[in-house]
Chain A
Amino acid sequence: MRTLLLPLQWLVGFVVAVGEGARFFVHLCWLSLAALRRPRLVIDQVHFIGNYSLSIILVSGLLIGFVLGLQGYYTLRRYGSEEALGVLVTLSLVRELGPVVTALLFAGRAGTSLTAEVGLMKAGEQIDAMEMMAVDPVSRVLAPRFAAAVFSMPLLAALFSALGVLGGYLVGVVMIGVDAGSFWGQMQSGVDWLDDVGNGVVKSVVFGFTVAYVALFVGFNAQPTPEGVARATTTTVVAASLAILGLDFIMTALMFSTD
């Protein structure tokens, strides 16, 4: 009898955990709107989360643009369509690589630092101290970080894609010699600003929500020990990355199915 109850207990426990997670998410979203009333906190977090991610995002964007330019050229040359290099590079970046790779790098860079920061605050009993002073730690500490991450993600993804296009141009046109006119011309007629660029922006916003939520949730509920914080940062990267890739598949299926 007891062994029959075990899977049921586990299932109920799982559903309860999902409910707690959902409640935390809604609470964060609601409070991050209120956090905009304290712009000083949000701006500091945007500096910490966004500006400090710039170096890795910009360099990665440029390098991935280089690779796309090379690989795209070698493949297109087999079918005599080298002029389509601009469309290939831009669509790959704007639709998929920009939002997804930026989100993965963002999870690794900003997500882990958010988790570590919040986890260490918890370990150093700063969260408890705030609660003692009747300051809500979620709205003071977590909500500005949430708002800053959601705000920074689309900007970082756009920068990544723009630099990737530039990288593709440098390799394709300047280095290899593809015609510049057809590079930009086919790109401009093949990339739709709403369907492609717009959907990419929507994806990056969703990924921003995902990374911020996972990082803050895992950090806030981490074990208040050094090992606990270390494990929490690993959990953030793994969980956020898997969530990003899963959501990317769902969103791509929703946005880009042609019917």
Chain B
Amino acid sequence: MKRTGVDLLVGLFVLLGFAALVFLAMRAGNMSSAVGLGPTYDTLARFDNIGGLKPRAAVRSAGVVVGRVAAIRFDDQSYQAEVVLALDQRYHFPKDSSAKILTSGLLGEQYIGLEPGGDEEMLAAGDRITMTQSAVVLENLVGQFLYGKAAEGAGKK
């Protein structure tokens, strides 16, 4: 009788510990969003500059998360960044959709904004999104602004 009492307590302890681990991973951590998107299909997109885009960043359309960035590679034939987007199979986008790298908030994380085009044919697994817009690089913006101001000043003279 005493043996089963000890076993019961130890079993409860182990179960509680595992429950705490699962709670931490799924509720407190991002395991459910990192793993549980459901079945996805991969599409490719090339960008001149991905800025601070990271794998597992969100792919949003109209603000709703429709997929995740699966992988980011460098293509040394075209010297561009190649991004693999894993899109949820529930959502289909026209073949001429465009992908832009946007920032959430002013200094937040970067994500890919997907805007649907007007084509009747939909993107399939392995297709390439041709219309892309790279991330805004702050230094280029500042440089443009400074040169613009300098050109304006020289033009006035």
- A residues near B (Cβ < 8 Å) are 40, 43-44, 46-47, 50-51, 54, 90, 94, 152, 154-156, 158-159, 161-163, 165, 184, 187-193, 196-197, 201
Shortest B104–chain A CB gap in Å is 10
Contact between chains at A155 and B18 (CB < 8 Å): yes
Q: A158 touches which one: B3, B21, B30 (CB < 8 A)?
A: B21
Query: Separation in Å of the B138 CB from the closest CB of chain A?
Result: 20
Report Cα–Cα, A152/B13, bound state, in Å.
9
| Cβ of B121 under 8 Å from chain A | no
A207 → chain B, closest Cβ, in Å?
15
A44–B10 Cα distance when bound, in Å, is 8
Whole-angstrom distance between the Cβ of A100 and the nearest chain B Cβ: 16
| Chain B residues proximal to chain A, CB less than 8 Å | 3, 6-7, 9-10, 13-14, 16-18, 20-21, 23-34
State whether B9 touches A47 (Cβ < 8 A).
Answer: yes
Check A188 against B10 for contact (C-beta < 8 Å). no
For A44, the chain B residues whose CB sits under 8 A away are 6
Given contacts A44-B6, A158-B20, contact A197 B28 (CB under 8 A): yes
B6 touches A165 (CB 8 A): no
13 new A-B contacts, CB < 8 A, other than A158-B18, A159-B17, A197-B29, are: A40-B3, A46-B10, A51-B10, A155-B14, A158-B17, A162-B20, A165-B28, A189-B33, A191-B28, A192-B29, A193-B30, A193-B31, A197-B21
- A-B Cβ contacts below 8 A, count: 82
User: Contact between A162 and B30 (Cβ–Cβ < 8 Å)?
Assistant: no
A43 CA to B24 CA in the complex, in Å?
Answer: 25
Give the contacting residue for A196; candidates B18, B29, B33; CB below 8 A.
B29
Looking across the interface, which residue of chain A has its beta carbon closest to that of B9? A51
Q: List 5 A-B contacts (CB under 8 A).
A: A47-B9, A50-B13, A94-B29, A193-B29, A193-B30
Closest 6 CB pairs of A and B: A155-B17, A193-B29, A193-B31, A162-B20, A158-B20, A158-B21
Cβ distance B12 to chain A, nearest Cβ, rounded Å: 8
When C-beta atoms are compared, the residue in chain A nearest to B14 turns out to be A155
Contact partners of B25 in chain A: CB under 8 A:
193, 197
Residues of B within 8 A of A187 (CB): 28
- A47 and B27: CB pair below 8 A? no
CA distance A205 to B110 in the complex (A): 35
Nearest-neighbor residue (CB-CB) of B19 within chain A: A162
The answer to whether A90 touches B28, judged by C-beta atoms less than 8 angstroms apart, is: yes
How many Å lie between the Cα of A162 and that of B27 in the bound state? 10
Question: Closest CB-CB distance, B27 to chain A, in whole Å?
Answer: 7
Q: In the docked arrangement, what's the CA distance between A197 and B31, Å?
A: 10
A189 cross-chain contacts in B, Cβ below 8 A: 30, 33
In whole angstroms, how far apart are the Cα atoms of A41 and B4 in the complex? 14
Indicate the member of B3, B16, B29, B31 with the most A CB atoms within 10 Å.
Answer: B29
Closest A residue by C-beta to B18: A155
Q: Closest chain A residue to B31 by CB distance?
A: A193
Which single residue of chain B is at the shortest CB-CB distance from A54? B13
